[in-house]
Amino acid sequence: MCLLLETIRVQDGLLQAVDAHERRMAKARMDIFGARDALRLDGIAVPPEHATGRVKCRVVYGAAIESIEFELYRPRTVRSLRLVRDDAVSYPYKFFDRRIFEALLAKRGSCDDILIVKNGLITDTSFSNIAFDDGSGWITPASPLLAGTMRQRLLTQGLIREEEIRPRDLKFFRRACLINAMLDFGECLINLDRISW
């Protein structure tokens, strides 16, 4: 069975960006299962032990919700990225099975994570979208492997813009920022000299 995953930030007991996560779930369920009914997240009860601070809510679902788990969020320490080429990689939905990334992560060497290059274009890391600071603003790759909910929110707010980015373009940027639903924008910054082949 094909299972999908939705990772939702819970801040001080409140689920964040519920509408965006429900939209992504609805699209995935329609595309994969032909499901037209909506799975609602606003009824999820946050356990009392997770009602303070930043918490990760993991919803595993297919045609229906299979499980809901909560855990205290511990940000990954990512200070370096290895560029990894894979022209066949495809991740149009947030699948529960992440073996595709595990295989690519095996190529990271001494770096903390990978930055995937597909068909000559920079896409995403193993767990996040990315944006680059060129001194006048933030630019995110126009062809991500997965269009994340935080990425879309930042685009809508005009805080980032899309462009095709190739590895040779990295020299025009100052730093990179990892983007996902659990991170505040600007929380995980990486100097460009820490991105290598």
CATH number of the domain bearing residue 49: 3.30.470.10
What is the rounded average pLDDT of the residues 159-169? 98
pLDDT, mean of residues 162-179: 97
**Domain termination site, one of 27, 54, 72:** 72
- Name every residue whose Cβ is closer than 8 Å to that of residue 184 and which is 6 or more positions away in sequence: none
Same-domain status, 23 and 109: no
**Gap between the Cα atoms of 119 and 109, Å rounded:** 22
Provide the domain limits for residue 173.
Answer: 81-196
Task: Give the count of domains, the chain.
Answer: 2
User: How are beta strands 54-61 and 4-11 bridged, if at all?
Assistant: antiparallel
- Mean pLDDT over 152-180 rounds to 97
Summarize pLDDT for 48-72 with one digit per residue, the tens.
999 999 999 999 999 999 999 999 9
Return d(Cα 85, Cα 67) in angstroms, integer.
34
State whether 66 and 86 are in the same domain: no
Q: What's the chain's average pLDDT? A: 96
* CA distances (Å), origin 101, targets 136, 152, 156, 190: 32, 22, 28, 20
User: Do 186 and 112 fall within a single domain?
Assistant: yes
Does 161 lie in the same domain as 101?
yes
Virtual torsion, Cα 99, 105, 148, 87, nearest 10 deg: -80
Burial of 195 (0-12, 13-18, 19+ CB in 10 A): buried
Phi, psi of 104 (to 5 degrees): -70, -35
pLDDT score for 42: 86
* Residues 148, 123 share a domain: yes
CATH number of the domain enclosing 152 = 3.20.10.10
Task: Take residue 147 and report the two structure tokens written for it.
Answer: 């269009």
Please name the residue that has the structure tokens 């369920």: 29
Specify the pLDDT at position 191. Answer: 96
Q: Could you tell me if 118 and 184 lie in one domain? A: yes
| Residue 50 shares a structural domain with residue 138 | no
Per-residue pLDDT tens for 32-53?
999 999 899 988 999 999 999 9
Confidence at residue 38, expressed as pLDDT on a 0 to 100 scale: 87
184 shares its domain with 128: yes
Please report, rounded to a whole number, the percentage of residues in the chain having pLDDT higher than 70.
Answer: 99
Closest CA to 115 of 70, 147, 82, 146: 82
